[in-house]
Amino acid sequence: MAVVVERVRVVGWGDSTTAGTPGFFSPVEAPPEGKGNEKSQYAYWMMKAHPDWVVLNRGVNGERTDQILARFPRDVAAERPAATIVLAGVNDIYQGRPNEQTKKNLGEMYRLVAGLGSALVACSVLPYNSMTQAQAKARRELNEWIRMESARTGTAYCDTAEAVAKEGDPEKLAGSPDGIHPDVGGYRRMGDELSMAVVKALSARRRG
């Protein structure tokens, strides 16, 4: 009798830095399977490292936290994932939205994921090369809140920003085809860091 191995279901929920922009269009953007260079998304690298995982790319380029939040029923709840990665907020900053509103939206996203019984991984917001000083300050403040909120709630945290930042200049990307999004190498490093964070989150959930 063949042994059926149950695959671990993970949802990546977010904006362009989840979708894989500019090299890849997510399955939400280009149904049913996405389109482009599949290596230009962290989900690809996570599944390469963990063949027993199914990492669902639920990223949409250009979306703010309120727009991402509105997709929860379809893109997260309906999938019943063992773990959910939340990476969002850069478009709020780009559009000049107040951090307090972004924090409120992120907090609601975290609450909804926890309510599903899904292991949450909260991620820091990535830099982009054209940030103004005000945008860079807003990003630093938002990332500190994400880090502190994760520590307060015992949530797994992944510093995805550090994974793609230029050495010695955390406000810039180490590599980028457009100055706004990571290159394939950046998405690969994100995948490596996120894989470790998901393992940590799943282990904590099992212990709990």
pLDDT in tens, 63-92: 999 999 999 999 999 999 999 999 999 999
Residue with tokens 């992120």: 106
Q: Residue 3: its pLDDT value, please?
A: 42
- How many C-beta atoms surround the C-beta of residue 159 within 10 A? 15
What Å distances lie between residue 198 and 62, 67, 98, 205, CA to CA?
25, 24, 29, 10
Rounded CA-CA distance 90/12 in Å is 16
Residue with tokens 């945290």: 157
35-40 average pLDDT score: 98
Rounded CA-CA distance 160/158 in Å is 6
The single-letter DSSP state of residue 130 is T
Q: Is the pLDDT of residue 203 over 60?
A: yes
Q: Residue 1: its pLDDT value, please?
A: 47
Rounded CA-CA distance 154/160 in Å is 18
Band of pLDDT at residue 146, cut at 50, 70 and 90: very high
Q: Are 76 and 58 in contact (CB under 8 A)?
A: yes
The residue type of 99 is N
33-50 average pLDDT score: 98
Peptide bond into 98 cis (omega under 30): no
pLDDT in tens, 175-196: 999 999 999 999 999 999 999 9
Question: Could you name the CATH architecture of 8-207?
Answer: 3-Layer(aba) Sandwich (3.40)
Considering the chain, what is the average pLDDT of its residues?
95
